[in-house]
């Protein structure tokens, strides 16, 4: 047949059947969503589903605007943040010049560039996995920055990003803040000052709602106007009525989420110490996962043996520079103690063969 599209899709971590496993491979939250979400679910009136959801998801947009202390006019909701990111790539990168992002970052960025025919260049991260923004060329089509970055867990400061916004006033800088709540700095306060900044967020990681599929973008009225025109050109009702209701409830429970996400950060610090005692080198993380490597035993060996023990983590054999690293999501204290025990056993076993 002729005319069929050829494309290499993004490959997410696997979603195995959930019973009897420890799932630390896709950076989901270790804890359940807020009790307010459960209540919103229980009191949802199914009869309302015969109507379309509100076009602007106004209740959710207003709750988000209140949470971030910004006008509602700057907020656009989406079906997961993958959706708002895909919209942003299509909306803001129509130039001939390549856009720039790191060689080690969210695997979806190059996929969208291919899908939407956007020229791009991947910038090799430094030895310590930092992104040398000052080394970017003077001419470019835009920059995409996961902050903190995945899978490295390293973040940039607001000051560094502000310098970037000033350097390219007529290019859009997208900042993907999927992991901000776990120790990163947010640039949302800069949206008031920089028309060229677009920030994306998700309910998947810090709000414990990956299965609900809700994300959003925050940007100037000018950028929001463009993104909403593109959104309304193919799927205006991307966030359904149930998702809107539950995400709104989650947005209203800042206290609960602060508590569980602080807990995850504390667990992360303990787990990093356990890793250090086992001889691992771990990149200091500002996210709910760590990237770690062992000097004697390969990531593949750990990956396979952890899987035998029903513990799912991630590694990236195709990414040469981190092929020997494991990316491990931070679960509960109990889960991480168990992971450390299994890692210790693997090391002992391997050293005895
Ligand atoms: C998880 C993740 C996302 C998207 O998640 P959604 O579930 O689509 O909201 C976006 N960017 C990064 C860096 C992520 O890790």
User: Which DSSP symbol is given to 212?
Assistant: G
Give pLDDT, residue 216: 98
286 and 171, same structural domain?
A: no
Contact 208, 33 (CB under 8 A): yes
- Mean pLDDT estimate for the chain: 96
Question: Is 68 part of a structural domain of the chain?
Answer: yes
Mutate to test the pocket of ligand 1, among 83, 176, 208 (most ligand atoms within 8 A of CB): 176
Structural domain harbouring 73: 45-252
Question: Is 108 part of a structural domain of the chain?
Answer: yes
Question: Is 36 part of a structural domain of the chain?
Answer: no
Q: Is 178 in the pocket of ligand 1 (CB under 6 A)?
A: yes
Q: Count other Cβ atoms within 10 Å, centred on residue 332.
A: 14
SS3 content of the chain, % helix, strand, coil (to 5): 40, 15, 45
Question: Is 39 part of a structural domain of the chain?
Answer: no
Mutate to test the pocket of ligand 1, among 78, 148, 150 (most ligand atoms within 8 A of CB): 150
235 and 271, same structural domain?
A: no
Which one, of 77, 80, 52, lies nearest residue 65 by Cα?
Answer: 77
For the chain, which residues score pLDDT lower than 70?
353
304 and 199, same structural domain?
A: no
Give pLDDT, residue 3: 85
Give pLDDT, residue 6: 87
Q: How buried is 238 (Cβ within 10 angstroms: 0-12 exposed, 13-18 middle, 19+ buried)?
A: buried
Question: Is 142 part of a structural domain of the chain?
Answer: yes
Question: Is 5 part of a structural domain of the chain?
Answer: no
Q: Domain end: 224, 252, 280, which one? A: 252
Atom 13 in ligand 1: residue holding the nearest Cα: 106
Contact 78, 56 (CB under 8 A): no
280 and 241, same structural domain?
A: no
pLDDT tens column, 143-190: 999 999 999 999 999 999 999 999 999 999 999 999 999 999 999 999
Q: Is 118 in the pocket of ligand 1 (CB under 6 A)?
A: no
Atom 11 in ligand 1: residue holding the nearest Cα: 178
Q: Is 77 in the pocket of ligand 1 (CB under 6 A)?
A: no
Contact 155, 149 (CB under 8 A): yes
CATH number at residue 162: 3.40.640.10
pTM listed for this prediction: 0.96
Contact 237, 55 (CB under 8 A): yes
Q: Number of structural domains, the chain? A: 2
């Amino acid at each position: 047949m002729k005319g069929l599209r050829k494309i290499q899709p993004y490959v997410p971590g696997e979603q195995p059947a959930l019973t009897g496993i420890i799932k630390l491979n896709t950076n989901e939250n270790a804890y359940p969503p807020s009790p307010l979400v459960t209540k919103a679910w229980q009191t949802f009136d199914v009869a309302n589903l015969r109507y379309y959801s509100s076009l602007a998801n106004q209740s959710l947009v207003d709750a988000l605007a209140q949470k971030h202390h910004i006008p509602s006019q700057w907020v656009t909701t989406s079906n997961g943040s993958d959706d708002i990111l895909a919209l942003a790539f299509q909306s803001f990168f129509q130039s001939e010049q390549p856009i720039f992002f790191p060689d080690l970052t969210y695997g979806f960025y190059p996929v969208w560039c291919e899908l939407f025919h956007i020229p791009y260049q991947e910038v090799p991260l430094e030895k310590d996995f930092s992104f040398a923004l000052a080394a970017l060329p003077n001419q470019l089509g835009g920059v995409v920055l996961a902050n903190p970055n995945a899978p490295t867990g390293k973040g940039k400061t607001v000051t560094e990003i502000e310098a970037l916004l000033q350097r390219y006033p007529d290019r859009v800088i997208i900042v993907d803040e999927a992991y901000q709540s776990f120790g990163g700095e947010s640039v949302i306060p800069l949206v008031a000052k920089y028309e060229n900044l677009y920030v994306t967020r998700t309910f998947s990681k810090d709000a414990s709602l990956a299965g609900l599929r809700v994300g959003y973008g925050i940007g100037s009225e000018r950028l929001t106007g463009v993104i909403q025109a593109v959104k309304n050109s193919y799927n205006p009702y991307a966030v359904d009525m149930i998702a809107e209701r539950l995400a709104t409830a989650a947005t209203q429970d800042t206290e609960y989420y602060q508590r569980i996400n602080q807990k995850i950060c504390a667990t992360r610090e303990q787990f990093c110490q356990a890793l250090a005692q086992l001889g691992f080198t771990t990149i200091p993380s500002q996210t709910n996962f760590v990237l770690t490597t062992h000097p004697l035993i390969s990531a593949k060996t750990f990956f396979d043996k952890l899987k035998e023990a029903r513990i799912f983590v991630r590694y990236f054999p195709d990414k040469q520079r981190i092929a020997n690293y494991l990316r491990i999501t931070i679960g509960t204290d109990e889960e991480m103690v168990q992971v450390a025990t299994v890692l210790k056993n693997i090391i002992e076993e391997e050293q005895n063969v």
